Chain A
Amino acid sequence: MKKNILPVIGYLALASAASFLLVTMAGLFWKMAETAPQRAFSAHRAWFAVRLSLSSATLSTAIAMVFALPSGYVLSRRRFPGKNILETALLLPMVISPVALGALLLIFFNTPPGRLVEKIIGPVVFESRGIIVAQFVVISGLAVTLVKTVFDYVSRDYEDTARSLGCSETETFFRVTLPTSARGLAATAILVWARALGEFGATVTLAGATTYKTETLPVAIYLALASADVYHTGVLIILSFAMAFAVLFLLKTAAGVRDSYPSH
């Protein structure tokens, strides 16, 4: 009988990943225990960073999803010249360094069109609004690409049936396409939100790192580490892990994102 080694390799890989996480966390605790904090821990400041991270990630995800739903639908359902180029361009923010994107935005907002945008939506550069803009630019391509993929998996036959039952294309989108793909869209929103929550490079470049203003959790970690404050850095890392795990687990459970393949 042939040996089935694939599951063994899979479990070993998962165990390695979990071990790596545990070992690095253990290292963090050990280092925190042997170093004294350089200053008193400010729960108020940490709480501000947590709230700012959560609210900015949620807002930028909401804006990105509102933008991604019609864009993803058109990309999934229509053919037009330059579609392949556009789809490739949407993937660029995932490949290009976030710092480069932040720098691009910083330069843009120092040009007349950028200043015009600031006149419309309010000040962006080195402001909390900049966090939303930076996160939106980083996650929107990912959101559109994932939403398109979700819509690709909704059979056209459902929409055709709805059309023959009296729905216009727009009614079909709201009555059939969206509800049919709700689970996939929820999973997309969670992934996009997670990416926004961890965003650092573009945010720090465009919005800066001002305490009680643009200090998200990743920025707070960076600032603590820059001042060689291992204890504070450790506390903020643990806070990040706990917050991200709790929110992702709750969202995943609430959205009903489960295994789609029956397990052995």
Chain B
Amino acid sequence: MIELRNINYRAGDFALNDISFSASRAEYFALLGPTGSGKTLLLKILAGLIPPSSGGVFFDSEDVTRLAPEDRAFGYVAQDYRLFSHLNAVENILFSPRVRRLPDDAKGILLGDIVSKLDIAPLLKRRVTNLSGGERQRVALARTLASRPSLVLLDEPFSAIDEGLKKHLWFEIKGILSAAGVPVIHVTHDIEEAVTLADKIAVVIDGKIRQTGTPKDILLRPSSERIARYLGIKNIFVGRVVSGDSRGYLIEISGAVISAPVPPESLAVAPEAGDEVTVCARPQSVKIIRPSEAVRDELKENMFDGVIVGAYFFSDSVSVFVKCGDLVWEARLPHAVYHRNELSVGKKIIIALWRPDVMVYK
């Protein structure tokens, strides 16, 4: 188990503040946050490349804070992989075994094992400058695995990969690392990448861990408006609590009344009647209601008449903007739903918010 305890670090105007988290051996752990939030710095502290100002790094309960990087056996894969351009692919892979003066027969067995796992035999004699993004990633991963790491630290490992290939590689790389039985800490700014790959996520914003949880926790229950905004939740409105009880709240926003569930105790201070609050709803939680269709209970309390004022097409969905009174809601719909309902700009429709997903922040 890897554990960071109260890590602090200051570099100029930027600081990491009181960072603590732990990841078990079985977990694929992601550090998610915007660019410049301190994720890479944190990864380098974990790798021993930068000493923290205070706090400790523990691996299997052993304090490794003062251990040199070469003595930690944590495989660090830098952004863009940083393959050594003066060596070919196989020389890159055998870099660590050569540094550690492994006997030739042991090197051969290790190489054979890694080459078959990553299916990279055709790449071995190639110059690394001639490899594609995906090939470079495999060679970098092979080089790291050849060092027989007890933990793999990946810094934005898919940032140099074409969008189309990226999602295919996510599962492949995770599969390879799982098969190798190595725990992973993966730094990324890509929300989809983190929620798809990770078993547990820590959200890092401005040098602090703002929330730790499963992908579902993070996506459906961001612990603050700031995280909700970072996660790209678009429907964010400021309103006032009309009433509240153990079932939830009624919140008035620009003349519309929204019904919201009580947020989990761990997430926020419970608002009271009259308090100003922020209401958030993910575009995926805004549904289109067909007049003939039976409406589920979770949708009944937040139904609004509106008119479509904009529609933007993405490769996997359509963003539809619906004006209801003074509010414009964004709904994210599958292409099929958009076309089946013959939606278009100017059309009058009914939308409903999936009540369990409505979030309230004081």
Contact = CB atoms under 8 A, between A and B. Distances in A.
Contacts of A24: none
A68 B74 CA distance: 33
A165 B82 contact: no
Contacts of B47: 160, 163-164
Interface in B21-56: 44, 47-49
B78 A160 contact: yes
Interface residues of A, number: 18
Nearest to B155: A157
A186 to B, nearest CB: 13
A158 B84 contact: yes
B168 interface: no
Given A166-B99, A167-B70, A175-B99, A160 B147 contact: no
Contacts of A26: none
A171 B99 contact: yes
B237 interface: no
Interface residue SS majority, chain A: helix
B82 A161 contact: yes
A66 B80 CA distance: 32
Nearest to B97: A166
A227 B330 CA distance: 91
Nearest to B77: A161
Nearest to A161: B82
A210 interface: no
Contact of B86 (A155, A160, A180): A180
B68 A168 contact: yes
Contacts of B77: 161
Given A157-B78, A157-B80, A175-B99, A164 B86 contact: no
B100 interface: yes
B79 interface: yes
B85 A164 contact: no
B306 interface: no
Interface in A123-164: 155, 157-158, 160-164
B207 interface: no
B86 A166 contact: no
Contact of B99 (A158, A165, A180): A165
Given A168-B68, A168-B70, A180-B86, A161 B99 contact: no
Nearest to A163: B69
B82 A166 contact: no
A167 B76 contact: no
A91 interface: no
Interface string B59-86: 0000000001110111111111010111
Contacts of B149: 164
B302 interface: no
Task: Pick the most buried of A157, A158, A160, A161: most chain B CB atoms within 10 A of its CB.
Answer: A161
A59 interface: no
A171 B47 CA distance: 18
B70 A161 contact: no
A165 B147 contact: yes
A163 B44 CA distance: 11
A180 B78 contact: no
A93 to B, nearest CB: 32
A255 to B, nearest CB: 14
A180 B147 contact: no
A180 B84 contact: yes
A158 B143 CA distance: 13
A166 B70 contact: yes
Interface in A190-245: none
A176 B143 CA distance: 15
Task: Pick the most buried of B72, B85, B95: most chain A CB atoms within 10 A of its CB.
Answer: B95
B349 to A, nearest CB: 51
Contact of A160 (B69, B72, B84, B99): B69
Contacts of A168: 68, 70
A169 to B, nearest CB: 8
A179 B86 contact: yes
Contacts of B44: 160
B319 interface: no
B86 A182 contact: yes
Contacts of B78: 157-158, 160-161
B49 A163 contact: yes
Nearest to A181: B86
B20 interface: no
A155 B80 CA distance: 11
Given A164-B70, A164-B74, A165-B95, 18 more contacts: A155-B82, A157-B80, A158-B84, A160-B47, A160-B69, A160-B78, A161-B77, A163-B69, A163-B76, A164-B69, A164-B75, A164-B147, A164-B153, A166-B70, A166-B73, A168-B70, A176-B84, A179-B86
Interface of B: 44, 47-49, 68-70, 72-80, 82, 84-86, 95-96, 99-100, 143-144, 147, 149, 153
8 contacts: A155-B82, A160-B49, A160-B82, A161-B76, A164-B149, A165-B95, A165-B143, A182-B86
Q: Nearest 8 A-B pairs (CB), nearest first?
A: A164-B76, A157-B78, A163-B69, A179-B86, A165-B96, A166-B99, A157-B82, A161-B82
